[in-house]
A and B are shown apart, each in its own frame.
Chain A
Amino acid sequence: MSRWGMVFDLDRCTGCSNCMAACHQENNLAASGPEETRLGRAFHWIRLLPEASQSPHGVRIQFIPQPCFQCDDPPCVRVCPVHATYLSEEGIVGQVYSRCIGCRYCMAACPYSAKVFNWYEPNWEGDLAKKANPDVSMRPKGVVEKCTFCHHRIIAAREESRARGRALEDGDVTTACAESCPAQAIIFGDLDDPQSRVSLAARGPRAFRLHDDLGTEPKVYYLAEQE
């Protein structure tokens, strides 16, 4: 059984937000539009956190890409009243759109604000709805949704490797954000495979996790910048 994880190399990340755009396309995320964004309802499964820091050359702004951290001990799953969010066997925190009652308790409980809510019926400009990715379900209004580590890609890759009669190998599956990153700053793979690129990076000296003092055991790692 795999345990999927992700590593962001902050040395490589340029903050171009290509990952956000790729995620929108891949996962059928409706555009929230300027009106709604101004109200604070921008809608992304992966976002860029701006981080200002002091450097010898003045203030430095750095961007930290943040998907759902897919915690091993997820606070959102603990509070859900209806089993609408769960931790899968492969360590991905899933959301059952057809069961969620929209109480938003998981959003209030998530220390990383990683979940998003459908405030309205998703809005598709023109014929965009017809061009949606058929592998990912469309969401109705009033439910919570979140990053899934592109689990539809994982399923497809596993089926393909099974058809070819071999085990799933490192590099067989990658997420839309990792695939689209021009700087190759995102590594995706199996953390339980000791030889995978992601687990080597996650065990490396530069690896850290955001707010892992909370004991939520995130499976998203960052590689600190080198001076």
Chain B
Amino acid sequence: MKNATNDNAASAYADQELLRSVEQSGAGFRVASTLLLLVLLAGWLLFSRQLLYGMGVTGLNQPVVWGFYIVNFVFFIGISHAGTLISAILRLSNAEWRRPITRMAEVITVVVLAIGGFHPVLDLGRPDRMLNIFTAGRLQSPLLWDVSSITAYFMASTVYLYIPMIPDIALLRDRGTWPHWFYTFLAWGWQGTPRQRKVLDRAVGIMMVLVIPVAISVHTVISYIFAMTLQPGWHSTIFGPYFVVGAIFSGIAALLVVMIVLRRIYHLERYLKQVHFDHLSKLLLVMSLLWFYFTFSEYLTAFFGHEPTEMRVFFHKFLGPYAIFFWGMVACNFLIPVGILSFRRTRTIPGILVASCAVVVGMWLERLNIVVPSLANPRLPYPTGFYFPSLVEWAMFAGGIATFILGFVVFARFFPLISIWEIREGREHSIPETTERLQGYLPDPEPGGTPVSAGR
């Protein structure tokens, strides 16, 4: 059965290499997934204390009623914008360099969205009453907007991940890879007929357009949870776009980290080349500048208005107990990435890794800076609050990260991390198509005159 479907030597070699993670998984997969499951299990064990005794086992308190769970909720959902949005925009704009990247980006979205979307449930005092949201839901509440929009995004991005995977799943089915029934079921009878290809193209085309507004709505609505209240530091009109920019920013950084790590582990150096990192890191640089612009506008307006309640939050961040996190955020989100990515000499893969890790940390700090200081400085300033997360909250944070890695380990065990058919399509069709497209950009030949191409 092996090699039965390969057309020529070049693509046969390519298939082998990209299928290695699926067909030759060994001890590495088992060890990694066991370790990650243990971390997750430890998190849940500690979390069971919260279910038994109540929210008191967290570090939350009277003014600071939201902490790590909400910070991580916003953070993880932000990371999820890596995927689908980047991949959809690159597909939509016909960026040919997207081909080896889109699949990984979409996996990030689905995995992280599942993690992030679960966090508000961890934060409930009565998780047993969670379904009240559906039986007694109030559509006027921004939390309900969130539930709807995250659900829609999860659906859309799962479908958007799955549809372009069908030809690759069919390839695995045809090669008889274990578990055969699994691939047969998921391949949905794909034979690669021209009609099926047309339908696939249509479906991907519809999904990529559909997914963009949904993705933007998700993070806008998350910002609305904060912005719709009257609290100082939260009640701001630019929160919607500010959160979306931050989400795309952290998403690209997470994507770069994932690409660099997976490239190393699964030896994808031939596919993920300097040019891909270069393009993506320029995008990261642009987002970093845009993020700084939003942050600057946000804090300058607060400072210039000088409302006393706003200023308490402002100084809590700038000079107070949160100064280390605030300035750490500015360093991680602006100074480090701009310093590294602006120069070609430092825009190497290790440099990009450092910058992206800094941005991921910095964006987490940003979420912390948004959630906690505003709650810690309420209008009636007694009691003012401090917040230090408890072991349970740290454990669930570690569990979230472990789930993220586990998601990739399991995905790579069963599916190729790079879209094989899209790479092949790129090899076979893109060059003539791109040439034709480029020629379409050039001026038309003069009417009646000698055609330009005649002189060639």
- Interface set of A (CB-CB < 8 Å, partner B): 36, 39-42, 47, 49-50, 66, 75, 78-84, 99-105, 107-109, 111-113, 116-121, 140-144, 210-211, 214, 216
Cβ–Cβ contact B132 & A101, under 8 A: yes
Interface residues in B180-236 (C-beta closer than 8 Å to A): 225, 228-231
Residues of B within 8 A of A214 (CB): 230
10 more CB-based (< 8 A) A-B contacts, given A79-B229, A104-B123: A40-B61, A40-B62, A79-B143, A83-B136, A83-B138, A105-B141, A108-B229, A108-B231, A120-B56, A210-B380
- Chain A contacts for B141, CB-based, 8 A: 78-82, 105
Q: Does chain A have a CB within 8 A of B285?
A: no
Name the contact of A81 in the complex, choosing from B66, B126, B137, B382 (C-beta under 8 A): B137
Distance of A100 Cα from B126 Cα, bound (Å): 8
Contacts of A82 in B (CB 8 A): 129, 132-133, 136-138, 141
A211–B379 touching, CB < 8 Å: yes
B369 to chain A, nearest CB (A): 16
State how many angstroms separate the Cβ of A220 from the closest Cβ of chain B.
12
Contact B143 A81 (CB under 8 A): yes
Partner of B132, one of A36, A99, A104, A142: A99
Interface of A is mostly: loop
B-side residues, CB < 8 A to A, are 53-56, 59-66, 120, 123-127, 129-130, 132-133, 136-138, 140-144, 147, 225, 228-231, 375, 378-380, 382-383, 385-386
A179 to chain B minimum Cβ distance, whole angstroms, is 25
- Contact among A79, A117, A210 with B65 in the assembled complex (CB-CB below 8 Å): A117
CA distance A111 to B133 in the complex (A): 24
Determine the chain B residues whose CB is within 8 A of the CB of A211 once the complex forms.
Answer: 379-380
Q: How far is the CA of A181 from the CA of B365 in the complex (A)?
A: 47
22 CB contacts below 8 A, A to B, read: A39-B61, A40-B63, A40-B386, A47-B382, A78-B140, A79-B143, A81-B137, A81-B147, A82-B137, A83-B136, A100-B129, A102-B55, A102-B124, A103-B123, A103-B124, A104-B65, A104-B125, A113-B378, A117-B55, A119-B55, A120-B53, A216-B230
Contact (Cβ within 8 A) A116 B62: yes
Q: Which of A81, A117, A120, A143 contacts B138 (CB 8 A)?
A: A81
- Please judge, given known A-B contacts A40-B62, A99-B136, A102-B124, whether A118 and B54 are in contact too, CB under 8 Å: yes
What's the Cα separation between A75 and B230 when bound, in Å? 8
Would you call A109 and B136 a contact (CB within 8 A)? no
Distance of A142 Cα from B144 Cα, bound (Å): 20
> Is the Cβ of B63 less than 8 Å from the Cβ of A143?
no
The 10 closest A-B pairs by CB, nearest first: A102-B125, A142-B125, A40-B61, A119-B56, A81-B143, A81-B141, A141-B54, A109-B229, A120-B56, A104-B65
